[in-house]
Amino acid sequence: MTELWRITVTVPEAAREAFEESLLAVADSAGSEIAEGGGWRIEALARERPDESLLAALLAEVAEAFGLAAPMAVVEPLAARDWLAENRAAFPPVAVGRFYVYGSHIVEPRPDGAIPLLMDAGPAFGAGTHGSTMGCLEALGRIAVAPASVLDLGCGSGILAVAAAKLWPKVRIMAVDNDPAAVANAEENAQRNGVADRVAVAEGDGTADKALRRAAPFDLVLANILLEPLVGMAADLAGLVALDGRAILSGVLIGQGARLDAAYLAAGLDLREAIEVGEWRTAILGHAAAD
């Protein structure tokens, strides 16, 4: 059983990433989703009660940088939770594209021919059934030529890196995230799925990471993040993709697709295919000069 503290705050989209990162100074993990009525709802989880004076100072600092009024944060304890029991109830197995995503509690036979991905949900990460993740898994199955090298940028739980390793047994994969909790979770999932020998997980600062840039270019770059960071790193990310390679980008709402496509077209990657799952859109892109 795990006892946690939850911090909740609603902020404008333009400042979402900065507020989310600031909360990691007092929390162990943070994530966000579109809030009802506008803006983004950030939820952070901490193993110990956060220092509320420090929390207020962090929020005020970010707000000042964006010319905003400091948002109010709600801090509340969560009852001790049995995450495995919740996982059973909230994350049934799902077949998506060529993959079958299931938790360790599932004992039913897997569908014939499906590639199994063993993923359990935890306090900071889901089990891979979000619409953007499902779009990426579908997109992986549509890559016609097996890549020799793959980058999973902002890997989170590592589900996409694990899926690529299982789909292409000879592929070399680098999975990078700036959150130490994500790095640990991805390493664990690679181990549990028997692909740890081919998935190198590392903590790194996005496209600026030196080890990542030394390993480039990659035949396939995966980035399931959000619109703003994807647009901000368009030029750098495009530079990591091999001339005849592909990029799979997600974490973008359907209505935001045109802005993403324009940013990457300006960086030299054009849209080859778009996949929509619920309200989320996944794009497969390639170098415009390659064909």
Query: Please, where are the H alpha helices in the chain?
Result: 16-23, 52-65, 83-90, 131-140, 159-167, 180-192, 210-215, 227-232, 234-240, 257-266
In whole angstroms, give the CA distance from residue 223 to residue 38.
Answer: 25
Please report, for residues 12, 90, 101, 160, 242, the alpha-carbon distance to residue 97 in angstroms, rounded to integers and kept in the order given.
Answer: 34, 21, 10, 13, 25
In-domain check, residue 96: no
**Is the domain of 62 the same as that of 143?**
no
Domain co-membership, 274 together with 197: yes
CA-CA-CA-CA torsion sign (201, 202, 206, 209): negative
**Contact assessment for residue 121 and residue 89, using Cβ atoms and an 8 Å cutoff:** no
Element (H, E) at 218: strand 218-224
Is residue 213 included in any domain, yes or no? yes
Clarify whether residues 140 and 249 are in a common domain. yes
Query: Which strands, in side-by-side order, build the sheet including 99-102?
Result: 94-96, 99-102, 115-118
| The predicted structure's pLDDT at residue 188 | 94
Q: Looking at the structure, do residues 159 and 273 belong to the same domain, yes or no?
A: yes
Residues 226, 141: one domain?
yes
Classified as helix, coil or strand, 287 is strand
- The strand pairing partners of 4, in sequence order, are 78
Instruction: Check residue 278 and give its pLDDT.
Output: 83
The answer to whether residue 162 is domain-embedded is yes
Angle at 109 between CA 107 and CA 115, to 5 degrees: 110
The CATH code of the domain that includes 269 is 3.40.50.150
What's the confidence (pLDDT) of residue 128?
52
Residues 65, 136, single domain; the answer is no
Q: Answer yes or no: do 20 and 140 share one domain.
A: no
Which residues form the domain of 269?
131-290
pLDDT, residue 219, reads: 97
Phi, psi dihedral angles at 54 (to 5 degrees): -65, -40
* Boundary (domain end) residue, out of 81, 99, 119: 81
Q: Are residues 24 and 139 in the same domain?
A: no
Q: What is the pLDDT of residue 22?
A: 86
pLDDT of residue 1: 47
The total number of structural domains in the chain stands at 2
CA distance 218 to 212: 10
Instruction: Say whether both 77 and 139 belong to one domain.
Output: no
What Rg value do the Cα atoms of the chain yield, rounded? 19
pLDDT tens across the length of the chain (291 residues): 457 888 999 999 888 888 988 888 888 777 788 887 788 999 888 888 899 999 999 999 899 988 999 999 999 988 766 555 554 555 677 888 899 998 877 777 777 889 999 987 654 444 455 788 999 999 999 999 999 999 999 998 899 999 999 999 999 999 999 888 889 989 999 999 999 999 999 998 888 788 888 998 999 999 998 888 899 999 999 999 999 999 999 988 888 999 999 999 999 999 999 999 888 899 999 998 655
Does 103 fall in a domain?
Answer: no
Rounded CA-CA distance 64/208 in Å is 26
Of the residues 54, 81, 108, the one at which a domain ends: 81
Task: Assess contact for 142 and 126: CB atoms under 8 A.
Answer: no
Establish if 41 belongs to a structural domain. yes
Instruction: Examine residue 150 and state whether it is found in any structural domain, yes or no.
Output: yes
For residue 112, being part of any structural domain is answered with no
Q: Where are the beta strands (DSSP E) in 20-153?
A: 29-34, 40-46, 74-81, 94-96, 99-102, 115-118, 149-153
Whether 54 and 142 share a structural domain: no
CATH code: domain of residue 32: 3.30.70.120
In a shared domain, residues 29 and 172: no
Same-domain pairing of 141 and 44? no
| pLDDT at residue number 104 | 78
Q: Find all residues with CB under 8 Å of 44, minimum gap 6, and list them.
A: 6, 7, 8, 20, 23, 24, 26, 27, 29, 30, 31
Q: Is residue 91 part of a domain?
A: no
pTM for the predicted model, two decimal places: 0.72
